[in-house]
Amino acid sequence: MMLLQYIFGGVVTSLLGFLLLLRHRHAKKNESGKAGIHAVRTQTARAGSRCSTDVIVVGAGVAGSALAYTLGKAGRRVHVIERDLAEPHRIVGEFLQPGGYLKLIELGLEDCVEEIDAQRVDGYALFKDGENTKLSYPLEKYGSRVAGRSFHNGRFVQRMREKAASLPNVLMEEGTVTSLFEEKEVVKGVIYKSKAGEEMQACAPLTIVCDGCFSNLRRSLCSSKVEVPSSFVGLILENCKLPFPNHAHVILADPSPILFYPISSTEVRCLVDVPGQKIPSIANGEMSKYLKTVVAPQIPSEMHDAFIGAVDNGRIKTMPNRSMPANPLPTPGALLMGDAFNMRHPLTGGGMTVALSDIAVLQNLLEPLHDLHDASSLCKYLESFYTLRKPVASTINTLAGALYKVFSSSPDQARNEMRQACFDYLSLGGTCSTGPLALLSGLNPRPLSLIAHFFAVAVFGVGRLMLPFPSPKRIWVGARLIASACDIIFPIIKAEGVRQMFFPATVPAYYRRTPTQ
């Protein structure tokens, strides 16, 4: 019996020891498993902290959407962050010049003006003191589909966003970017609030800010001096027949120009320029009174009733006209584009042409680069962007600023003579018409050609004054006219940069070579 008890006790002890050993091994296995899971999670977290995006684009307006599509089509991984992805409703950004349409074709985005009831625009009609002249774009050497286009801005933007978001490597997200974040003076990405209000961080080797004229990020990326010479008051005229179909109409009114152009098959956009930063109040009826008593009497009879009807309708919107030359502060890891970077008076409708042209320039520069992570080399290389964009940008910017000043009335007789000379010069036809229209449309981005035509108008104005015979007063007014022309054009050229505008080949950045990959 004692032997049996001893054997049984040994078996139980061995069994308990075996169970304890199994438990110990199982515990060690569990600990090792937890450690393994922790290691995997750490690796995953580290992988997530790396830049899985090549480019962050802040803003999905015309510039941001077009840029996202262009970079995405080239194989870049793009993260677009836009404050509001609902269809925007604006009274500017509705007119695309033929030069801008050619850029749409170059970028593969020309179908974005289809199926939005966009209207073809073949030129301008100019009105002054009961006279008018029709000016046509010089489109003879281009295909029949090339012309200007006018449309609802929101419809165009939504088409661009849809096309960009259709690419598998483009992520379009609704969120508000609050700041750029930097490490060792290199921009690494952005901090933003998601649609749900959660603070997020996105990183990429290159961040491109395209958040428009009200940008809150431009301060660290450019030397921003924004001027607001006037505001546009926007109306939509229903079922209004323009005197010259498929043409934009410019009324040289007092005190400043009025624009009309079709934005759909049944609607005409009217933009009334109101000089200065203070405009009549819409809320208390001062604006309606101003439009009816000051503006309406200067509008051609064919559009008068439709204009009064639009005022009575009450859907009046305003937009400050901002002007800001491009003065970049090259920053490693970041770039500024679109209206956040460079603005001009919207009288000539050149903003989208400049933005699309800039995107084409940037894409050509980035095309040979496979890796964007060397921020300092990339920043140095992209300094050439600011020079290469100048022919188109500076021509359109200078023309917009100069034309606005010339087309506005003035108590100065010399300035008014310049205004009349411009109208008469364009009415001559031939090169006097097609030359300025080629500049205006973005088809001929040559600053020297712009200067030649501008001073040809001034000389033409002096010639008018000298006929039928010169008098001391006429000679004096003629001299002041030339001086006035210089006062208009030279400050704009200075702001644009004389060297980059006229002698780009002398700028060292013009010859930047692609960084070694």
Residue-wise pLDDT for 229-248, tens only, equals 999 999 999 989 999 999 99
pLDDT at 126: 98
Residue 37 has pLDDT above 60, yes or no: no
Interval 142-152 mean pLDDT: 95
Residue-wise pLDDT for 3-26, tens only, equals 333 333 443 344 434 333 334 443
How far apart are the C-alpha atoms of 477 and 463, rounded to whole Å?
11
Residue 46 has pLDDT above 50, yes or no: no
pLDDT at 19: 39
Interval 203-208 mean pLDDT: 97
Residue 29 has pLDDT above 50, yes or no: no
How far apart are the C-alpha atoms of 212 and 51, rounded to whole Å?
25
How far apart are the C-alpha atoms of 486 and 458, rounded to whole Å?
9
Residue partners of 435: CB distance under 8 A and separation at least 6: 444, 449, 453
Q: What are phi and psi of 486, to 5 degrees?
A: -65, -40
pLDDT at 45: 30
Residue-wise pLDDT for 370-412, tens only, equals 899 999 999 999 999 999 999 999 999 999 999 999 999 999 9
Percent of the chain with pLDDT over 90: 84
How far apart are the C-alpha atoms of 256 and 410, rounded to whole Å?
9
Interval 120-134 mean pLDDT: 97
Confidence of residue 224 (pLDDT cuts 50, 70, 90): confident
Please give the structure tokens belonging to residue 54: 């090549």
Q: Are 183 and 310 in contact (CB under 8 A)?
A: no
Burial class (CB in 10 A: 0-12, 13-18, 19+), 359: buried
Confidence of residue 514 (pLDDT cuts 50, 70, 90): confident
Confidence of residue 51 (pLDDT cuts 50, 70, 90): low
pLDDT at 147: 97
Interval 420-446 mean pLDDT: 96
pLDDT at 517: 53
Angle at alpha carbon of residue 80, lines to 74 and 85, rounded to 5°: 125
How far apart are the C-alpha atoms of 221 and 210, rounded to whole Å?
12
How far apart are the C-alpha atoms of 434 and 447, rounded to whole Å?
16
Please give the structure tokens belonging to residue 151: 């449309």
pTM here is 0.88
Residue pointed to by tokens 């749409």: 104
Residue 190 has pLDDT above 90, yes or no: yes
Residue 32 has pLDDT above 60, yes or no: no
Residue pointed to by tokens 């199994």: 22
Q: Look over the chain and give the mean of its residue pLDDT values, rounded to a whole number.
A: 89
pLDDT at 355: 98
What residues form DSSP beta bridges with 271? 234, 259
Own/partner pairs for 40-47, CB < 8 Å, 24+ apart?
Answer: none
How far apart are the C-alpha atoms of 365 and 375, rounded to whole Å?
15
Residue partners of 31: CB distance under 8 A and separation at least 6: none
CATH match of 55-116+151-225+325-373 with 3.50.50.60: yes
Residue-wise pLDDT for 466-498, tens only, equals 988 899 999 999 999 999 999 999 999 999 999
- Order of strands, sheet of 317-323, starting from the edge strand that comes earlier in the sequence: 131-136, 123-128, 247-251, 258-262, 267-275, 227-238, 317-323
